[in-house]
Amino acid sequence: MKDTRHDLPPEHIPLGLIPTPFQPRLELLSRTKDWMNWAGYISPAVLDTMEFEYFAIRNQATLFDISPMHKYRISGPEALAMLNRLVTRDVRKLAPGRVAYVMWCDEDGMVIDDGTLFRLSETEFRLCCQEPQFSWLLDAAWGYDAQIEDESHNVAGLSLQGPTSASVLRGAGFEIDTLRPFDLAEVEPGLVISRTGFTGDLGYELWISPDRALALWDRLWDAGQIWGIRAIGYHALNMARIEAGFIAAGVEFQPIHHTLRLHRGRTPLELGFAWLVDFDKGHFNGRRALAAHAKRGPRSMIVKLDIGGFKPAADALIYHRKKREVGHVTSAMWSPTLKRNIALAEIRAPFGTDRTSDLWVEIYLNQEGVWQRRMARATVLSQPFFRNPRARATPPAAF
Q: From the annotation, which residues make up the binding site for substrate?
A: 205
Cβ-proximal residues to 305 (8 Å cutoff; 6+ apart), any chain: 313, 329, 342, 343, 344, 345, 359, 361, 378, 379, 380, 381
Using DSSP's 3-state secondary structure scheme, residue 219 falls into: helix
Task: Give CA torsion, residues 376, 382, 385, 389, to 10 deg.
Answer: -160
> Concatenated DSSP letters for 74-139?
EESTTHHHHHHHHBSS-GGG--TTEEEEEEEE-TTS-EEEEEEEEE-SSSEEEEEESS--HHHHHH
CA–CA separation, 114 and 51 (whole Å): 28
CA–CA separation, 182 and 179 (whole Å): 8
Alpha helices in the chain (DSSP H): 23-29, 50-59, 79-86, 134-140, 165-171, 213-223, 234-244, 287-296
Among 304, 312, 346, 296, which Cα is nearest to 326's?
346
Cβ-proximal residues to 295 (8 Å cutoff; 6+ apart), any chain: none
Q: How far apart are the first and last CA of the chain?
A: 38
Rounded to 5 degrees, φ, ψ at 80 are -65, -45
Measured from the Cβ of residue 244, the count of other Cβ atoms closer than 10 Å reads 18
* 46: Cα within 13 Å, side-chain hemisphere: 13
CA–CA separation, 209 and 350 (whole Å): 49
Q: How many helices (H) and strands (E) does the chain have?
A: 8, 19
CA–CA separation, 371 and 65 (whole Å): 38
Annotated binding site: 205
Strand duo 61-65 + 229-231: pairing: parallel
